[in-house]
Amino acid sequence: MLKIFRNIRRDLLTENKFRKYILYAIGEIFLVVIGILIALQINNWNNLRIEKKAEQTSYQNIRQQIVEDSTELSGVKAFNLHYLNQYAFANEIIKSNDRKQIDTLALITIYLSQYSDFHGNGNIFQNLVNSGEINLLQNAAISNSVQKLEMIYAHLNKLEDIHWEIISNELTPEVKGVINYATMEIIKPDKLYSVELQNIFVEIIFLTKGKDVVYNQALEKIRSIIELIEEEVDNKS
């Protein structure tokens, strides 16, 4: 092709057709410019295709992480509710001073050291920001929802930290020496019905109820993000 163009230019110059040569040169420049523009457009299309693919991959990765979180959240929520019911029952035993239920009260008092602790895929949004993937996400509703989910996680982790502090700072000193954990013998029965222990039960009941609310908020937010991602992926497929 280049050889043909060279031959045409040579013929025009040798035939002394300068005007035609100028027009030809302009046309050749025009063709080169058009070729460059086409090449740039193809490159832009290719880059856009790569970015769209990367965006879809990011959405799928987010979905996978929050689905895993949902599974763990459901487990810790059930764990939390189970012990919430146990603590509420123990509180009623103390309120009614039901000494016939002292063995049950002792057992549930031991259970007070149990608490739900969620370990999910935290920092999802922050990782997207740090990696630069956040710039690929064109659906603002998804990125905003992921950020809000992280805020819910942070609130939940704070409640869990408070729960642990109550166990270590208040519960442990209060029940020390009350029950022989090895034999389950009740050493100080009156301490099981004390206002101090009842207050700890009330504190933890309040806290576990609060955690249940936040577990539900997190699960609901995850469901909404999954719906947004599935709709986004379906629309782009």
Give me the tens of pLDDT residue by residue for the chain, a chain 237 residues long: 545 545 555 554 455 555 554 655 666 677 677 777 776 777 667 766 766 787 888 888 889 999 999 999 999 999 999 999 999 999 999 999 999 999 999 999 999 998 899 887 667 877 777 777 778 778 889 889 999 999 999 999 999 999 999 999 999 899 989 999 888 899 999 999 999 999 999 999 999 999 999 999 999 999 999 999 998 887 665
Instruction: State the greatest distance between any 2 C-alpha atoms of the chain, in Å, as a whole number.
Output: 122
49 is in which domain, residue-wise?
2-236
pTM for the full model?
0.78
Q: Domain count of the chain? A: 1
